[in-house]
Amino acid sequence: MNEPDATKLQNPTQRRAFVVVQRGDARMEVVELPATGMVTIGRAPGNHIVVADPKCSRHHCELFYRAGQWHVRDLESRNGIALDGERVVGEQPLDYGQTMKIGAYSLLFTDSHPDDRDDGQLTKTVFGATSSSFEIIERKSGTLYDDPSGMHRIHGGNEGATELFRLARAMAATTDESRLAAIVMDGLIGFTQASMGGVLISPPGDDEVRIDSLQPGAVYGSRKASDFSTYLTNIALRDRDAILAHDISKHSSLSKQESLNELEAESAICAPVRHGEEILGVIHLYSVDSDSPLSQPHLEFVLAVADQMGDQLHALREKMELAEGLDRVRRHVSDLQDQLQAETELVGHSKSLEDVRRSIARVSPTDALVLIRGESGVGKELVARALHFNSLRKDGPFVCVNCAALTESLLESELFGHEKGAFTGAAGKRAGKFEQAHGGTLFLDEIGEMSPEIQAKFLRVLEGQPFERVGGGEPITVDVRVVTATNRNLEEAVREKQFRRDLFFRLQVIEISVPPLREHPEDIAAIAQHFVQRFATQSHRRCRGFTSAAIKKLTSHSWPGNVRELRNVVERAVILANSEVLEPADVVLTNLALEETDDPRPDSMKGTEPEIPVDTAVDPELDLWGSFIQQNMSLDDIDRLYIEAVLQSTDWNKSAAARILQIERTTLDRRLKKYGTSRPGDENDEDDL
């Protein structure tokens, strides 16, 4: 239940009492003392009267009414309090007209409000201007609501605390800035009974709040937000304090402010919406009724609400940024998933590829171990991805490890993880690929290159046994489907005791053999066209496909590097081509032959040319001079022209060119020196980074 208002308990025979707080000639505030109760004075924000002086203790002294008279009691302050020049010891009664001194502050105890007098004896500096009469502008940087110990000293009993709690709950429940501003405005109007007001908010992302950038979040009354006082806004933003101005029409420096004059306001409050060092907006309240002005308790309440709003507004904007960031991440993940899904597409319609597709379709829904066999570059990882994305684990991670790319010690750490300090360079604990693939698929490429020691530990995991990180002792169990791949003859490796027999039989549950490209040349045209569309999109080139002569050149090649080699040939052609249709001259092939035979095609195909699908030839009428180039230019000439074309496309950025050519930068420099090639107009061949 709310405590009764102190003004209603005022004894009709009791004289009113005020404390006028001054610092030099500047009046800081005027506080009317309640008829009952206690008023504390100190440096802490929780005090009823805050004295911001270094010589003032956090809880310096208190005023209390007893036996028909007000008293002052020193609260064992460090520097004490002087009453008319005499230090107060313990408690001492107060007489009207006496002055208490705390540091540089003077507190006049009087029975009349200073504005009711017209003696002109006191002067005050108002923001650098001196006036012969009091011009009431009170400031607050902290409130009684900030200190729980000061809540019982709030004017009006518990009403302010109850309303602040209700408002805080309503603010915390909203997820919209406009709704937040409306809740704050409704609560402030209800508590202060102001005639008009508004909440102005700075746009998100503004490093510094400017008056012209403030946007109305909520407005109450007949006035627009643009009518509010820029004079008070400037003060609140500059000093980060809440401002109370009253008796505006009676005093020159306030009444002459055009915005306040047009509003016909008798009192006003302007409070910054703060969060830490940030200011996110301002709150304006105005009263046009001189009989019901905005007061110091209202100032306390408004500043407390403004600070609460600042915290909530900051939290809302953080959530919005996080949501936007999460949305960007989700879009990126979706794009990557689409790309990965595209990577699982086996392009071509030959019988051998159809057999691979049928095997994938049968095996994918199971958790059976799969061993993928095939030459280097045939697309074994592509098959592994297809197995994953067509399985029940497709929403889980797909983790790849190339066993041939790591040393024995590094491979063990990569697969099983390590503890901090397990070896030199192990600065922290790290989860291995098995843990990272939990709930998904782990693809181990080049499984035949795994050392016997790692094979033993790997076999235990395949048998469902827990494993330990390198340097650790805690058993770890994971739920992972394992897919392996190799281009080695594992049977021969077993006979030569380079591969464990028991591991071989454990891996040989399901085998999928991926044929080399030379065994299904009828798919070359479709695969090449697939790569053209992909690389044209990625490199923003207008390239539509191949001429029939270019397709013939592709299909007659032995492709020792299989699909990987075809992919690189097409990418190079798309980047360097001068026309939308790729011609034989754009197709640069390797002279590297297979080791076993000069013609690796099946006997049935030797001496014949593969059939070229008509629908893959973009322009069968085009005839090119590719054969002329092949007959009249050396490989060095082709290499030189190719390098020069790449350098021109990168504006002679050698580092970028080396990446496109897939060679070392030093190798590029040696070739340029060999061919005597330099940047046009640059005899010194300076580095271009």
Give tens-digit pLDDT for 216-233. Answer: 888 998 888 888 888 888
DSSP string, 438-493: TTSEEEEESGGG--HHHHHHHHHHHTT--B--BT----B----EEEEEESS-HHHH
Angstrom CA distances, 581 to 418, 442, 622, 623, 638, stand at 52, 40, 9, 12, 20
Q: Sign (positive/negative) of CA torsion 301, 307, 310, 316?
A: negative
Answer with the residue of higher pLDDT: 233 or 599.
233
Contact 371, 486 (CB under 8 A): yes
Q: If you average pLDDT over residues 274-291, what whole number do you get? A: 89
Looking at residue 286, its pLDDT comes to 92
Q: If you average pLDDT over residues 433-450, what whole number do you get? A: 92
- Residues 6 or more apart in contact with residue 529 via CB below 8 angstroms: 545, 546, 616
Residues facing 71 on adjacent strands: 64, 93
Contact 118, 224 (CB under 8 A): no
Q: If you average pLDDT over residues 629-644, what whole number do you get? A: 69
- Residues 6 or more apart in contact with residue 54 via CB below 8 angstroms: 103
User: Between vectors from CA 108 to CA 102 and to CA 109, what angle results, nearest 5°?
Assistant: 115
244: how many CB neighbours lie within 10 A of its CB? 27
Q: DSSP state, 418?
A: B
* Average of per-residue pLDDT values in the chain: 80
Please state, in angstroms and rounded to a whole number, the distance separating the CA atoms of residues 222 and 196: 7
User: Between vectors from CA 369 to CA 366 and to CA 370, what angle results, nearest 5°?
Assistant: 100
Question: Does residue 683 register a pLDDT over 60?
Answer: no
Looking at residue 115, its pLDDT comes to 66
pLDDT-based confidence at 434, cuts 50/70/90?
A: very high
Please state, in angstroms and rounded to a whole number, the distance separating the CA atoms of residues 195 and 181: 17
Residues 323-335 have pLDDT tens digits of 888 888 877 776 6
Any idea which of 256-260, 267-271, 299-303 has the lowest mean pLDDT? 256-260
Looking at residue 309, its pLDDT comes to 93
- Residues 6 or more apart in contact with residue 182 via CB below 8 angstroms: 217, 218
Contact 454, 415 (CB under 8 A): yes
Answer with the residue of higher pLDDT: 151 or 469.
469
Answer with the residue of higher pLDDT: 134 or 594.
594
Looking at residue 123, its pLDDT comes to 29
Looking at residue 345, its pLDDT comes to 67
Answer with the residue of higher pLDDT: 212 or 196.
196
Question: Does residue 159 register a pLDDT over 70?
Answer: no
Residues 604-627 have pLDDT tens digits of 334 444 443 433 333 333 333 344
CA atoms within a 13 Å half-sphere pointing along the CA-CB vector of 175: 3
SS (H, E, C) 310-371: HHHHHHHHHHHHHHHHHHHHHHHHHHHHHHHHHHCCCCCCCHHHHHHHHHHHHHCCCCCCEE
Closest CA to 470 of 404, 424, 503, 436: 424
DSSP string, 153-188: GSTTTTHHHHHHHHHHHHHHH---HHHHHHHHHHHH
Question: Does residue 128 register a pLDDT over 80?
Answer: no
Any idea which of 181-190, 478-487, 584-593 has the lowest mean pLDDT? 584-593
Looking at residue 302, its pLDDT comes to 92
Contact 621, 582 (CB under 8 A): no
Residues 62-71 have pLDDT tens digits of 999 988 899 9
Please state, in angstroms and rounded to a whole number, the distance separating the CA atoms of residues 79 and 38: 22
Residues facing 481 on adjacent strands: 441
Looking at residue 633, its pLDDT comes to 61
Looking at residue 100, its pLDDT comes to 95
Q: If you average pLDDT over residues 352-369, what whole number do you get? A: 91
- Residue 488 phi, psi dihedral angles, 5° rounding: -95, 160
Question: Does residue 568 register a pLDDT over 80?
Answer: yes
Looking at residue 110, its pLDDT comes to 92
Residues 382-433 have pLDDT tens digits of 999 999 988 999 889 999 999 888 888 788 888 898 888 877 777 788 898 9
